[in-house]
Amino acid sequence: MKRVITYGTYDLLHYGHINLLKRARELGDYLIVVLSTDEFNWNSKHKKCYFSYEKRKQLLEAIRYVDLVIPEENWEQKINDVKLYQADVFVMGDDWQGKFDFLKDYCEVVYLPRTPEISTTQIKKDLETKGEK
C-alpha cells in the first residue's frame, strides 16, 4: 500500500482544497492529512481560524479521498510523521516549492499546483469587503 501524507489548516474548506486532496490521493492508496491545531495556528502561524480544529477535522474526515486525519502541533514533526505513518509520498501545494525538500531522504516529495482562482485568504478578504459595504 502506497501512503501519501499532506499538511494544512483547511479553514473555510473550498474546492481548491478538494482538488488538492483528490490529486494527493491519486498518488497513492491511503491519504493522511495532518491538520494544524488551533494552538499551532495561533502560536506559530499567527492565524485565527474561523472553524475550530474539531470542526475542520470533521469536515476532512467526511471527504472520500481522506483516510486519516491527525493533528499538526509543530513545524518539526514532519520527519517523525513520515516515519511513524510510513509515508511514501509527501504532498504540498506548489506555493511551498522547495521548502520540504529535506524530506526527500525519507520519501518522495511532490508539490502540486494550486487551484489559481481560490484561496482561504481570498475568501476572507472578499467577506471583509462585503461587510464594509
> Which residue among 2, 45, 83, 124 is the active-site one?
45
Q: Which helix (H) or strand (E) holds 127?
A: helix 120-132
> Which residue among 2, 22, 47, 83 is the active-site one?
47
Q: Is-catalytic flag, 47?
A: yes
Q: How far apart are CA 112 and CA 52, in angstroms?
A: 26
Q: SS3 sequence, 26-94?
A: CCCCEEEEEEECHHHHHHCCCCCCCCCHHHHHHHHHCCCCCCEEEEECCHHHHHHHHHHCCCCEEEEEH
The answer to whether the beta carbons of residues 92 and 112 sit under 8 Å apart is yes
Determine phi and psi for 69, rounding to 5 degrees: -120, 125
Please report, as a single letter, which amino acid is at residue 20.
L
Q: Is-catalytic flag, 48?
A: no
What residues are annotated to the active site? 45, 47
